[in-house]
Amino acid sequence: MGVGAVTEDAVTISSGGAIAVDTAALDAAARSLDAAAERLSDAAQDLQACDRALSRIDTYTLGASGSVMQAVSAISASAQTAAALASALRAASATYALVEWRIARDVAAAAGDGAGTALAEREIAAIEATWPDAAAAADAALADARTTGGDALAQISVGALFSAVLFGPLALAVLVGRSTGRGTVGPGRTVLPGGTAATLVPLPVARPTTPPRTLADAAARIPASGPARIRIEQYARPGGRPAFVVYLTGTRAFGGSDPWDLSSDGDAFSGRRSDALATVEAALTRAGARPGDELYAFGHSLGGMLAGQLEQTGVYDTRVLGTFGSPTAVDVGNDTLSAQVRHTDDPVAALAVGHELPVGAAGSFVAEKAADPALGPHDLLLPAHPLDVYAETARAVDEAADPRVVALQQRLAMLGEDGPASVVEFGAERVAVVPRGRVSPSASGAG
C-alpha cells in the first residue's frame, strides 16, 4: 500500500507504488520544525532571564517565579518535540530517497547504463552512511510493494486442494508473472506487432441520456454478457474534435471464433497486439475516431489489458484509463489519469505486481479491497473476479471522501452535460481462413 492511502468501507485508495512522497516537502517541513524549535528555545531562555531579573524585586514572590518556570519547562519540552519531529522527517526523507535511488540503480543496470548505475550507487552509499536505519526501512517498503496479492495466492492455494488441474496452471502463471514482472508494463514500452482484426458485428443499443459521471457508471456500461464485446460512445467537444469513450469486456471464450479468448489473453499479457486489440482498433475507426482524438478507456480483465494497450500505442489522446481486475498495470503518461480497481483476493489481478512509484497524471489512484476473503471450495469460481463484483467496489470508491476520486469525476465531467452524439456496440467473430483463390462471404464487412 502506497503512502497517502485512505480507507473507506474496506476499500483502500492510494496513489500506488512503494512510495508516493515528495522528499523535498519532507525536508522543507523538517527545516520549518528546526526553526520553530530554535525560536521556542530562545523564548525559554528569555523567560529564564526575566525570572532572574524579577527575582531582585522584593514583591516578586516564589509563586510567581514558579509559574514562570513552569512556562519555561513547557516551552522547552515543545522545542524538544519539534526537534525530534524534524529528525524523524529527515529519517523518513532519507528512506524514501534511498528507495528512489535503488529503483534508479536497477533501471540503469537493466538498461546497461554504467554511469547511471555508478551515480546511484554513490548516492545510496552516502544515504546509508548518514542514515544507517534507512536501509532496513527501505528494504521493508520495497518488500511490501513486491508481495502484494497474498490474499489471491491464498485463494489459489485453497482452490488447488479441490482442483489441481484447474488451479495448478493458474498458480504457476501467477507466480511466474509476479516473479518476472510481466504484468507490470513500464514507461515507453510499445505494443509488439501481431493480431488480425475480426469481423465486427454491429448490435442494437439503447443510448444513455447522460455521459458517465462516476467509476460505477463506467463499470455498468462495460458489456458483461450477451454478444457485445465493445461499446463506444462519441461526445461532441469544443473545437469540433469529438471525444470517445470505449468500454471493453473481459475474456469470453477458451478459443475458436471469438477473439476475446485465452489466445488474446496470452498475447496481451505478453505485450503483443492480439486479435482482440486489432478488433478494438478497427471498431474505433468504424465509430469515427481519428488519431489524436480524446479517448476515455475502461475495461474489465482482458478488456483492462486492451484499454492499457490502447494508451500504450499513443494513437489517441487518452485522458482516462480505468481498469477493473486487469492482469497488467500500465505506466501511463503524465497526461492520463489512471484509475485501477483491484481485488486483493483476485488471482487474475494478482498477475500484476504494480509499480514501485506512482504512475499517471495527478489524481491517479489504485483502489483495493478483499472482495471474498473467506477460503473454501467456492474459490474454484474465482468469486472476486466477476465484473458485477467489481462494479460494487466501484460504487464504494465513488462514495469515498478522497480527492483523487473527485479528480476522476472532474475528468469525466469534461465530456459535457449532453448525452452522446452516437453509441455503437459490436460483437466480433474471427474471419475464417480461406484457401487462396476463394472468397468467403463472411469476410465482408470486416473492421
Does 377 have pLDDT greater than 50? yes
Other beta carbons within 10 Å of 276: 32
What is the percent of the chain where pLDDT is above 90?
38
Q: Taking residues 384-411, what's their average pLDDT?
A: 94
The model's confidence at residue 314, banded by pLDDT at 50, 70 and 90, is very high
- Range with top average pLDDT, 31-40, 120-129, 292-301: 292-301
Structural domain spans, the chain: 22-146, 150-429
Cell triple for 217: 457508471
Of 100, 281, 83, which Cα lies nearest the Cα of 197? Answer: 281
Of 399, 355, 393, 390, which Cα lies nearest the Cα of 2? Answer: 355
Are 248 and 233 in contact by the 8 Å Cβ rule? The answer is no
Are 325 and 390 in contact by the 8 Å Cβ rule? The answer is yes
Does 435 have pLDDT greater than 60? no
Q: Taking residues 227-239, what's their average pLDDT?
A: 92
**Amino acid type, 197:** A
Are 387 and 250 in contact by the 8 Å Cβ rule? The answer is yes
Helix crossing, 302-313 with 262-269: angle to 10°? 40
Q: What is the pLDDT of residue 399?
A: 92
Burial of 233 (C-beta count, 10 Å sphere; 0-12/13-18/19+):
buried
Query: Which residue pairs from 3-10 have beta carbons closer than 8 angstroms and sit at least 24 positions apart in sequence?
Result: 6/400, 6/401, 6/402, 8/396, 8/397, 8/399, 8/400, 8/401, 8/402, 9/396, 9/399, 9/400, 10/369, 10/370, 10/396
Does 231 have pLDDT greater than 60? yes
Does 8 have pLDDT greater than 50? no
Choose between 170 and 284: higher pLDDT: 284
Are 227 and 282 in contact by the 8 Å Cβ rule? The answer is no
Are 343 and 389 in contact by the 8 Å Cβ rule? The answer is yes
Are 230 and 203 in contact by the 8 Å Cβ rule? The answer is no
The model's pLDDT over 324-358, given as tens digits with 9 standing for 90+, comes to 999 898 989 899 999 999 998 888 888 776 655 67
Q: Taking residues 185-214, what's their average pLDDT?
A: 87
Other beta carbons within 10 Å of 71: 15
The model's pLDDT over 234-291, given as tens digits with 9 standing for 90+, comes to 999 877 789 999 999 999 998 899 999 989 998 998 889 999 999 999 999 999 999 9
Q: Taking residues 58-83, what's their average pLDDT?
A: 82
Q: Taking residues 166-172, what's their average pLDDT?
A: 45
Q: Taking residues 149-166, what's their average pLDDT?
A: 46
Q: What is the pLDDT of residue 167?
A: 43
CA distance 202 to 232: 11
Does 188 have pLDDT greater than 60? yes
